[in-house]
Amino acid sequence: MRLRGLIRKEFYQILRDPSSIAIAFLLPVVLLLIFGYGVSLDAEHVPIALVVEQPSADTASFTGGFQQSRYFEPVIMRNLREAEEALMARRVSAIVHLRSDFARQLRQPDGAPIQVIVSGVDANTGRLILGYVQGVWQKWLQRQALARGEALTMPVQLDQRVWFNSELRSRNFLVPGLIAIIMTLIGALLTALVMAREWERGTMEALMVTPVTMREVLIGKLVPYFILGTGGMALSVAMSVWLFDVPLRGSLWLLFATASLFLLAALGMGLLISTVTRNQFVAGQLAILTTFLPAFILSGFIFDIGSMPPVVQGITHILAARYFVAILQTVFLAGNVWSVVLPNALALVLMAAFFLGVSRRKLRKRLE
Amino acid sequence: MFWRILALTTKEFLALLKDKRSRMVIFVPPILQLLVFGYAASFDLNRIPFAVYNEDAGQASRDLVARFTASPNFHQVATLTHEAEITPLVDAKRALLVLHIGPTFTRDLLKGRAGPAQAIVDGRNSNTAAILLSYVNTIVATFNADWQQRNGGAITPAHLETRAWFNPNLLSRWFIVPGIVGLLTLVVTTLVTALSVAREREQGTFDQLLVTPFRPGEILIGKALPGFIIGFFEATLIILIAVFWFQVPLRGSLLTLYVGLLCFVLSTVGMGLMISSLAVTQQQGLLGAFLFLVPCIILSGFATPIANMPHWVQQITYLDPLRYFLVILRGVFLEGTPFHLLLDQFWPMAIIGLVNLALAGYLFRHRMY
């Protein structure tokens, strides 16, 4: 009964200052739209300079491969200097250079060198571009061999199978990861200030003289924001499936069960920040620092955790987002794989218990 | 006027730094984050866990597998004997790659036919999968070339000679660490400014400030200066760590870098103060800070290139001050870009900053409750 009163009071507070509702529903929509459309690692239409010093039938057959590829937007140039200037000015990302003796060299035993220069500023894109150039080159070799009436046999021709995401669509893995980031933000933003606000305004002291227990205060804070957060989660899942066409191969109930665990951990962290600082300003600063960037960089959402140095990998274990990202990417793309879901869910339970437990301990009916 | 602004700035600094926890929050986490993120944020893969399912007993397949185990990029975690073992291993994320070599591999190679080999890759993180496949292809290509040389296969008529400018080994750390300089400068200045006016409004002290002889412009400068000074100080610290700890080459001039930093801090302080003066409570200020910070970072090209975004999203990125600063940072650090080629990056940031500061100053008086 007392608990219900507290929850109702919290709901009124949410409804009167619409910023909480905005956090739960506006934030996921805005962020998913920006992320979903804005974040992509698939480079297409890469501007590339093709330097052909002496056009001939051979060079035309080679450059034709670039013109047909959807990965490239080629510009033909006559000399290397012009192309190098374009690379410096970031008008092109790579240069493919065929020397004037290309046609003659082709018929020599050593073969003709094709010079490829790529801008290494963005190393990841640079490597992707090199891979695409290699693809065009190999296709050209095959066409040449066919034209001569022989089959080009490479000793090992690798048959590549990419499981779970066969066309390597980066949106399929980014959008589930995003849900984890958005839920981290929602969880911390909703609760980071609520306890501190009661302390700052002196209403905490008023609460203390009433018969409510501190556990009831904590639960009273948790329940309304948990409901809001679940709403935000449902909205995010609906958008990823219907708007971004991400396949959901696992079951919906598992998604929501694990999301509830994660939400408890995220809200618990916000409550802990709030309880410990007792000051909205510092709590707000801490929330900005400890939520978004760590979840963005250390959760495995975009950067592979397995390739980080061991010390940094150790640090990633204290982030709830890390476990949730693993669960989300698996449940969305691979299905209900219990060997991934169970250990990560267990970690989430432990983190939720830790944050809520410590908040409960720090929250005493005592004034300083 | 000078003394009044000085007094106000002193008061702002006291408000920020008097509280020990607040002092900690502003200085310690950004430096720690730079160190952790600098190591964590990389697209380069190493020690990729992989498993081998080799049905062939011949020399050639052993040679191919040995090339994988010898590579620092790969780390063998299992040797499989049945096809049925593949699925649980990949599902549980214990191996990102399974190399499956057919029983006739060596025999086919010796007969001059293509040997059956298959690479099964976990595509849950499609970027990791694409990079991994490029590593696999490189190893297979050198294997092919060596095999042909030894066993006299067909000679390819043309070959690629590849070079990467500015970053010869294509280290993604060189790309990411300058980006982190911009990221953390953004976070720190937002931290200092986004809640400052909102706090005074919530506590009612802002009304008192407005009835003092201070003009709005003076209040604005007083509120902006701490953000400026702290942002500059921390950015310098972060640049030093990037150069001396992470060994990222700094090829351009420091002057260009600092003119860029000045314009950038101007724009972020302006944004922060604008959000802060729009908010009535700190809760709203915090929401505003996130609604500004997150898109700003995502759309800046920090981790994913702007060129990959759809056209209409690319148009939006022109409003993002971090976008311009990242071009300057990467240009000055890696390419040694001269000042005049970066002019187009300086002025948009300055305009974003001035417009927002003007708006903030206007809101000081015109948003009262």
Q: Are residues A30 and A57 in the same domain?
A: no
Question: What is the rounded average pLDDT of the residues B310-317?
Answer: 87
Least confident of A290-294, B318-322, B346-350: A290-294
The reply to whether residue A279 touches residue B19, judged by beta carbons under 8 angstroms, is: yes
Kindly state whether residue A164 falls inside one of the protein's structural domains.
Answer: no
Show the domains of chain B with their CATH numbers.
2-41+171-366 (no CATH), 48-151 (3.40.1710.10)
Largest CA distance in chain A: 95
- CA contacts within 13 A on the Cβ side of B30: 31
Establish if B79 touches chain A: CB-CB under 8 angstroms. no
The reply to whether residue A156 touches residue B114, judged by beta carbons under 8 angstroms, is: yes
Kindly state whether residue A289 falls inside one of the protein's structural domains.
Answer: yes
Question: What is the rounded average pLDDT of the residues A179-205?
Answer: 83
pLDDT higher than threshold 60 for residue B369 = no
Q: Are residues A323 and A282 in the same domain?
A: yes
Question: What is the rounded average pLDDT of the residues A262-280?
Answer: 88
Q: Are residues A272 and A323 in the same domain?
A: yes
The reply to whether residue A277 touches residue B123, judged by beta carbons under 8 angstroms, is: no
Residue type, B215: R
Q: Are residues A229 and A321 in the same domain?
A: yes
Could you tell me what percent of chain A has a pLDDT over 70? 95
Give bridge partners of residue A96 from the DSSP assignment: A50, A116
Kindly state whether residue A88 falls inside one of the protein's structural domains.
Answer: yes
Q: Are residues A291 and A325 in the same domain?
A: yes
pLDDT higher than threshold 80 for residue A44 = no
Give bridge partners of residue B165 from the DSSP assignment: A119
To the nearest whole Å, the CA of B322 is away from the closest chain A CA by 15
Kindly state whether residue A358 falls inside one of the protein's structural domains.
Answer: yes
Q: What is the pLDDT at residue B240?
A: 93
Binning pLDDT at 50, 70 and 90, where does residue A299 land? confident
Give tens-digit pLDDT for B152-191. 655 666 677 777 778 877 788 888 899 999 999 998 898 8
Mutate to test the interface with B, among A105, A124, A183, A186 (most CBs of B within 10 A): A124
Range of the domain at A112: 46-147
Q: Of A93, A116, A147, which residue is a domain's last?
A: A147
Q: Are residues A352 and A205 in the same domain?
A: yes
**Nearest chain A alpha carbon to B183:** A293
The reply to whether residue A43 touches residue B305, judged by beta carbons under 8 angstroms, is: yes
Binning pLDDT at 50, 70 and 90, where does residue B15 land? confident
Q: Are residues A122 and A199 in the same domain?
A: no
CATH number at residue A101: 3.40.1710.10
| Residue A323, Cβ density class (10 Å: 0-12 exposed, 13-18 middle, ≥19 buried) | buried
Binning pLDDT at 50, 70 and 90, where does residue B318 land? very high
Q: What is the pLDDT at residue B32?
A: 85
Binning pLDDT at 50, 70 and 90, where does residue A57 land? confident
The reply to whether residue A303 touches residue B33, judged by beta carbons under 8 angstroms, is: no
The interface predicted TM-score (ipTM) is 0.79
Q: Tally the domains of chain A.
A: 2
Q: What is the pLDDT at residue A348?
A: 94
B44, B120, B141 member nearest A161 (Cβ): B120
Which backbone phi and psi does B233 adopt, to 5 degrees?
A: -60, -50
**Nearest chain B alpha carbon to A14:** B283
Kindly state whether residue A12 falls inside one of the protein's structural domains.
Answer: no
- A263 versus A20: the higher-pLDDT residue is A263
